[in-house]
Amino acid sequence: MVVEKTVELARTIGLKTLVILSLSSMLGSGLFLLPAFAHEYAGPGMWFAFLLAGSVVIASAYSKAELASAMPQSGGFYVYAERTYGHLVGTISGLGLFASFMLKSAFALVGFAAYMKVITDHYGIENVNSNAIAMVLLVFILFVNLTGVKAIKKVQIPIVTGAMATVVVLCLLAVFSGDMDYSRPVENFQPATLKMGTAAALVFVAFSGAIKVGAIGGEVIDPETNLPRGMMQSLFIATLLYAAVAYIMVAVMNPADFMTDGHAVENPITVFAESVAGTAVVLVASLVAIIAMASMALAGVLSSSRFIYAMA
């Protein structure tokens, strides 16, 4: 008789770390990439698109929290689908989730390249292959993931804290600059339009970390309590932060600054920083954005690896 042994991952992730890991997979896109794209569709009311998307995620977060607390294992939705509908449906779901997280990590590296260009252009550095740098970063991310969750915690906590602090400081500079037009974000405000719905659908990806954090449920301490709390707390923080930053950006920035050559800018935080401060702050904001994008890619690779682990 063959006895199968199940190898369980150590439960080392507390509530604080869980919230940080969840935010690390969201803030990169929500703060450093998507605002200009949301503005392209929703205009000055883009802040409402973030609120709308966040409110839609609440129902999904509640249901995922119930499932995660009942089945706190690595693999998240793959485990739920496999237990409910069988191995075939579970495998298809697991492979799809793995692919989606890897694509989201690739999306983060696109933003990485956009902010890298800001720094290289400032210093007059030419012929820089941003894609090659992104690939080197990807190798480093894979190495960090191989070292385990403890190493990832040490990396993610200061990055997420620093990124949030930088954005909050920029917002405070904008508020006290005296250049804000508080009426602009609600000017011609039309929440019930197709364009607003399109913008909300676009920024929906910025909230996926709150519901996909169940993928690391097998490593969470006291998962029955911490998983639901971590999901809801990270969703609440992200929604308020996105909406507040978007509102302030619209109030202080020239609407034309959200576009370049007829397309939405890929580095909105750089433009925002330039509107409220000098070149030095722009470079700092760009550097923080680069690190935040790397953090987002790291979180994506971490979560995607847990789907493969659960299916093995």
User: Which residues are CB-neighbours of 61 under 8 A, at least 6 positions away?
Assistant: 210, 211, 231, 232, 235
Q: Which of 19-28, 108-117, 157-166, 218-227 has the lowest mean pLDDT?
A: 108-117
The predicted model gives 286-294 an average pLDDT of 91
Residue 236 Ramachandran class (φ > 0 left, ψ -120 to 50 alpha, else beta): alpha
Q: How far apart are CA 102 and CA 73, in angstroms?
A: 20
The predicted model gives 280-306 an average pLDDT of 89
Model confidence at 241: pLDDT above 80: yes
pLDDT digit string, tens, across residues 62-82: 888 888 888 888 888 888 889
Domain boundaries, the chain: 15-311
Model confidence at 279: pLDDT above 70: yes
Specify the pTM: 0.89
CATH superfamily of 15-311: Amino acid/polyamine transporter I (1.20.1740.10)
pLDDT digit string, tens, across residues 103-146: 888 878 778 888 988 888 888 888 887 778 888 888 888 888 88
Q: How far apart are CA 310 and CA 275, in angstroms?
A: 47
